[in-house]
Structure 1
Amino acid sequence: MHIPPYHRKTTWQRFFAGAFFGGFIAYFILIYMYGTMYEELLAENMEFTSQIRDLKDQNEALLKDKEDLDEKSREPLTVSSIVITIVEGDQLKMDRLIELQLEEMIIEEINHLVGEEVDMINKSDQLLLSAIENKGFTIEDVTYYFEVNKLTIASELEVSVIPKLSN
């Protein structure tokens, strides 16, 4: 079997030279396209890695916050302040100064409740009502008694009272 001598014909030489240089150029184009695609994928991978790291940090911070809140919620709720409101004080024609003095006297009477647990105060609310209603508060030779209108037991103990004069 005989291989024809194509290497001597110029048309075949041009074809083979063109195929060789075309393959050479195509190889470099392929390498360039692969490099740019790989560079884009690498940049996207770095971006995703950064996002994952940020999300992990955020997740850890949220879990730590949740643990702190769990610890705080396990602590019993305590009374931090006491607010006394005198309602219908204008019926006895009390001025604001007397109302403020009476509010301070009531706060002094139940001031020992600051720092106590809300559950304990809630269990003994009748004792608190009796302590306010059965005590007379004297200002300028006039004794005032109070009837508790509203009692709110939370971190801020709110008591609304109605004043009554002694008989």
Structure 2
Amino acid sequence: MRIPPLHRRKGYQRFFAGIVIGFIIGWFFFLLSYGGLQDFYMTEIDRRDEEIRGLNDEFKHFKQDYEEKNKENEKKLRIQEIKVSFLNREQAGLKGLHLIELENAVKTELHDVLTKDIESVGQNANLLIRTLENKNFLIGKEEYNVKVYQMHLYTTLRLYLKIEQVK
């Protein structure tokens, strides 16, 4: 069996030459379009990197300014609310209305603290505690005294109190 000599025929030579020339032209077209796209994307990446650097610089500036303003505002913060919690309300025997009356009496005693700045209240915290502990509250027909267990001071003054009945 013999393989026909196709390399001598002009039609086949043109066909294979066309394939090779088409491959070379296609390869140059691919390199040209791929290179153009890569150049475009590299330019876009550089532009966005520069934009990100600028935004990061602005963010650092704003963050620093924000922190400075927060420090200034913390100095100006004021007490806006007073919350009272009784730790031993079941043992003291106070329920319902009597407990609310005692809570309101404590809040009334501390009413002067509202709208004061936190720094001045913090400096006078011991005086505030002694004032509460030395005061006897008349609820119904009985007198009660409170002991300050904990005090949290921020825009809300939170007091955790223990109730003691005065004998």
TM normalised by structure 2 equals 0.69
Q: Is the counterpart of residue 85 in structure 1 residue 85 in structure 2?
A: yes
1:12-161 alignment, distance < 5 Å: 33=31, 36-75=34-73, 76=75, 77-161=77-161
Farther off after superposition, 107-116 or 32-41: 32-41
User: Could you say what secondary structure the match of 2:58 adopts?
Assistant: helix
Structure 2 unaligned segments of length 5 or more: list them: 1-23
Change (3 A) 1:102 1:35: same
Supply the AA of the counterpart residue of 2:147: E
Cα deviations across residues 41-67 of structure 1 (Å, max 9, x unaligned)? 233112320242144224413431331
Number of aligned residue pairs: give it.
143
Deviation at 1:71, TM superposition (A): 0.8
What is the rounded CA distance, in whole Å, between the counterparts of 2:37 and 2:95 in structure 1?
82
| Counterpart Cα distance in 2 of 1:36 and 1:160 | 72
SS in structure 2 opposite 1:158? Answer: strand
Q: Take 2:63 and 2:111, find their aligned partners in 1: how far apart are those partners?
A: 34
Gap regions ≥5 residues in structure 1: 1-25
Q: Kindly state the Cα deviation for residue 146 of structure 1 after the two structures are TM-superposed.
A: 1.2
Aligned residue identity for 1:41: D
Give aligned-pair identity as a percent: 13
Find the residue that maps to 1:146 and give its secondary structure. Answer: strand
Specify the SS of the correspondent of 2:109: helix
Structure 1 vs Structure 2 CA RMSD: 2.9
Letter in 1 for 2:69: E
Residues 14-59 of structure 1: CA deviation (Å, up to 9, x unaligned): xxxxxxxxxxxx9xx8798467524422331123202421442244
Deviation at 1:154?
A: 2.9
Q: Measure how far apart 1:85 and its partner are.
A: 1.1
Partner amino acid for 1:72?
N
* Equivalence for 2:16: none
Checking the alignment, whether the CA contact within 8 Å between 2:78 and 2:117 is kept in structure 1 is yes
Structure 2 residue matching 1:159: 3-state secondary structure: strand
SS of 2:41's equivalent?
helix
Structure 1 counterpart SS, 2:110: helix
